[in-house]
Chains A and B, each alone.
Chain A
């Protein structure tokens, strides 16, 4: 065979030709594409530290965004917001408190850091970070009965890891690519080729970054979450078969897990050490679910944690730990569909209703002396009259 030469060395001329091909046909053009992608990502702020995201929102409160990389990246972004806003009150927790708005707490400055911390240890970790960059006088945290099961802790520790130092380069490149793939026109718009930003048609918020543009949802200036319109429009449909939905999404247990009680003690110690007042709130749960937890005989063994959490012993323990606790799960209006997005998530008006109900508690005045309950009442009535469920405060922060 003519081709079967038997030289063992690499002929320089052949190698040169090969390397020239690699460079000209593949590597250099690809490097050019990567550079373009990087520039685009940097320009639309998908690449870069979370402080860039916070600053874009600080400069334009109408921006709604979702940090690239999903849930694990939310904590770093929300901490950047806290650093920029320096709020007096921070609300930390999971998705149940995402509809609490800063305007509800006026005249206090407030930031909603929900959708970051699911377990009690995660709440503590978040507070530890928050107090190093800001000086809040109070931290409110979502304190739900189901947080006191081992299974919940195990599930959400794995699922909702908080990445306090995210790899913003990798996340950003991926987010830019997603945008280029799924919304190339939006990418061009963000680069200034077309009029900038994408407006959410029902609320007028400006959606920024791929996740927000794709899902038409994200975090507002005050940290509260703008649900996608499609989801909001479903309304009562999402409340069908409420109890089954609810118990499928949270764990039951025979009683309070001692490990979680310890985690709560550690959380209280952290707050106390930082000189921060700690307030726990259990926001409303849809009434048929509460009835189910109270009375269903088949679920009775798993509702032990639900009953134990409401016991006097638990309330005394919370008081001993210095936690002011407000329980909103048995409000008379918790059967109203408008107060819920789904059985476990209060809507914006539902959260306002919870806060209004709290204001009738004698401890409310001493905890939030500057909040005017009459103002809350009138805002609630206005919203009820006008049928606003999600946009009670719209773009008022």
Chain B
């Protein structure tokens, strides 16, 4: 069952109400635990082996780490526990594809399509959560949980097991006691989040996927402007898809009395690349910041600047590799790493330059947001292309003068002829343009007003939520069914 699918949405509200009929504490926890496993077993049964394995090794690993005296060997125990817990992820995501490369032929492409991989749903998300828990126990940030069921529920908590956000033990474990009473305001906010998530997924992401898919399936004959716009659509498709799922997960957890931090914060309104990463897949980036970047930077503290840049670069490469096995993903991470380092290392100089030119820094967002957006869009080509060579071909087109000519060609009285945008079929798909505008305006409103949808006046709120409900209704009728979550493959 897909989170956000019509069946899931039909079950989540009655299920959460039933939970509140049970006594707080263990009865509720056991019911949610059973539901979580029942949910995960709707995917191929073999996937549950990995989940079971990770749950048990995490539980045992944390207990061993907690009981171990803080001698020189404790770090090795942590490394062992992490290696054991991360083994399924390593095997499924990286070793398998690498073996494929070596067993087929040495020059084989590392870029595998998702259908070539058998990858348990949500493996990256719950493994990272589990590893984070082990490190927290090692550092003494959280106490080792004595109950196997609680640790297992931490790993398999159904709202987040398939698509995140990546759980943090310090936040989630205490809430898994389920002691909160039903609160209408909390439930209302939760349902609002679920509906908005559904709207983003079905009303926006699937609509934007159409033109992006049409162009990327025929890259060879598409012009640069078409490719650029398709990549913009793809970026927003991915954003709406993932942010939509995250909202459904956060809303579902909130319905059960569990608060999770937001996973997205208007990333495409970022004014710099670091700003983008503070708003995109926040749970992954903050996880890497705390458990990877910070320790690495500490190790390199003898070289304050260079060490920070190196740690930043390596962290971003890690982000790329997290997305999948393929040179495109590695390149995506490396490019972002370079951009991040460049942004950090030149920020002061750039600020001074603008001030020297008499431009007040508070107006710089007018330039920085579009430039950052264009840069991010360019890098997304690496995620959307079939392989690196296709991405290379697209970059050659995008970086040619033809893109400028295509753009100018759209203007009235332009000496250049307008570029064909047949694959995007924007004229025949007004709803695609509308979908994009809705997301952009929605982000701008939320960023500037800081008001949640639940705090909006009745009419616009009802209009928005009913449109989301309608999107869900359309999915019920759709013969094709919802497309799977794009981030499942990651």
Q: Which of A179-213 contact B (CB under 8 A)?
A: 180-184
Is A11 touching B477 in the complex (CB atoms < 8 A)?
no
> Can you add 11 more A-B contacts, CB < 8 Å, to A7-B181, A33-B466?
A8-B20, A8-B24, A10-B182, A14-B182, A15-B182, A18-B187, A25-B462, A29-B466, A30-B465, A30-B473, A177-B474
Q: Contact check: which of B13, B188, B458, B466 meets A17 at CB < 8 Å?
A: B188
The 7 closest A-B pairs by CB, nearest first: A29-B466, A30-B469, A17-B184, A14-B184, A5-B181, A181-B431, A30-B466
Residues of chain B with a CB closer than 8 A to A174's CB: 474, 477-479
What are 7 contact pairs spanning A and B, CB under 8 A? A8-B21, A10-B20, A14-B184, A17-B184, A18-B188, A21-B191, A28-B466
Is A4 touching B179 in the complex (CB atoms < 8 A)?
yes
Residues of chain A with a CB closer than 8 A to B462's CB: 24-26, 29
Residues of chain B with a CB closer than 8 A to A250's CB: none
Residues of chain A with a CB closer than 8 A to B184's CB: 13-18, 21
User: A26, A170, A180 — which one has the most chain B CB atoms within 10 A of its CB?
Assistant: A26
Q: In the complex, which residue of chain A has the Cβ closest to the Cβ of B425?
A: A182
Smallest CB–CB gap between B212 and chain A, Å? 16
How many Å lie between the Cα of A13 and that of B183 in the bound state?
Answer: 10
Is B477 touching A170 in the complex (CB atoms < 8 A)?
yes
Is B474 touching A8 in the complex (CB atoms < 8 A)?
no
Q: Which of B1-46 contact A (CB under 8 A)?
A: 13, 17, 20-25
How many Å lie between the Cα of A183 and that of B466 in the bound state?
Answer: 22
Q: Contact check: which of B22, B428, B458, B469 meets A8 at CB < 8 Å?
A: B22
> Does B180 sit within 8 A of A, measured CB to CB?
yes
Is B188 touching A170 in the complex (CB atoms < 8 A)?
no
Q: In the complex, which residue of chain A has the Cβ closest to the Cβ of B20?
A: A10
How many Å lie between the Cα of A8 and that of B183 in the bound state?
Answer: 12
> Does B347 sit within 8 A of A, measured CB to CB?
no
> Does A127 sit within 8 A of B, measured CB to CB?
no
> Does A214 sit within 8 A of B, measured CB to CB?
yes
Q: In the complex, which residue of chain B has the Cβ closest to the Cβ of A170?
A: B477
What are the interface flags for B181-198 relative to A under an 8 Å C-beta threshold, 1 for contact and 0 otherwise? 111110110011001000
How many Å lie between the Cα of A174 and that of B463 in the bound state?
Answer: 21
What are the interface flags for B461-481 relative to A under an 8 Å C-beta threshold, 1 for contact and 0 otherwise? 111011111100110011100
> Does B430 sit within 8 A of A, measured CB to CB?
yes
Smallest CB–CB gap between B313 and chain A, Å? 41
Residues of chain A with a CB closer than 8 A to B20's CB: 8-10
What are the interface flags for A28-40 relative to B under an 8 Å C-beta threshold, 1 for contact and 0 otherwise? 1110111000000
> Does A27 sit within 8 A of B, measured CB to CB?
yes
Smallest CB–CB gap between A180 and chain B, Å? 8
Residues of chain B with a CB closer than 8 A to A184's CB: 430-431
Is B477 touching A26 in the complex (CB atoms < 8 A)?
no
Is B179 touching A29 in the complex (CB atoms < 8 A)?
no
Q: In the complex, which residue of chain A has the Cβ closest to the Cβ of B466?
A: A29
Is A170 touching B470 in the complex (CB atoms < 8 A)?
no
Is A10 touching B431 in the complex (CB atoms < 8 A)?
no
How many Å lie between the Cα of A4 and that of B265 in the bound state?
Answer: 28
Q: Which of B440-490 contact A (CB under 8 A)?
A: 458, 461-463, 465-470, 473-474, 477-479
Is A29 touching B463 in the complex (CB atoms < 8 A)?
yes
Smallest CB–CB gap between B474 and chain A, Å? 6
Is A182 touching B182 in the complex (CB atoms < 8 A)?
no
Q: Contact check: which of B180, B428, B466, B479 meets A25 at CB < 8 Å?
A: B466
How many Å lie between the Cα of A15 and that of B21 in the bound state?
Answer: 12
> Does A6 sit within 8 A of B, measured CB to CB?
yes
> Does B429 sit within 8 A of A, measured CB to CB?
yes
How many Å lie between the Cα of A352 and that of B20 in the bound state?
Answer: 74
Smallest CB–CB gap between B364 and chain A, Å? 39
